[in-house]
Structure 1
Amino acid sequence: MENIPFDGVSWSFYNEHGDLVELDVFYFPGLIKVSALLCEDKPKYRDYVGEGEHRNNRKKAIQAALINLNRKAYGERIK
């Protein structure tokens, strides 16, 4: 198995519901992958993960991850 080089960036922010969202962006050769993690700050303290990817557009990969995350956490459909 060969090692594949990648570079990564991380952000965290509070969304409109007051929950902490952490974004991790990973740059692989020919692919950008994003992992979005939501941590609830209220009882039940559930965590949700959304993933997105795109061949060359970071913004589209982030949007896909956040849409996936919101669907899992809140059941919202975002356009």
Structure 2
Amino acid sequence: MSVYIVYAIKSEMDERIYVGFSLNVERRLKEHNAGKTKSTKGYRPWHLIYTEEAEGRIVARNREKYFKSGIGKEFLKSL
């Protein structure tokens, strides 16, 4: 089973937070900052504010959903 990284990045432009998961966070952050992701392209540059390991894709997806929820988003804003 693969270990995924659930991550949160923050836009330096307007402080918005984006949550996702990947097997390679460094590569994924470069993609966000290169404008290769439609939903984050207009808010560059981004910097990493949180990472968490998750055992498998399903667990990673559930954690991503949590961080996109109200209580999860509040936790990320408090960092």
Q: Which has the higher helix share?
A: 2
| TM-score under structure 1 length normalisation | 0.32
More relative contact order, 1 or 2 (CA 8 Å, 6+ apart) = 2
Q: Which has the higher strand share?
A: 1
| TM-score under structure 2 length normalisation | 0.32
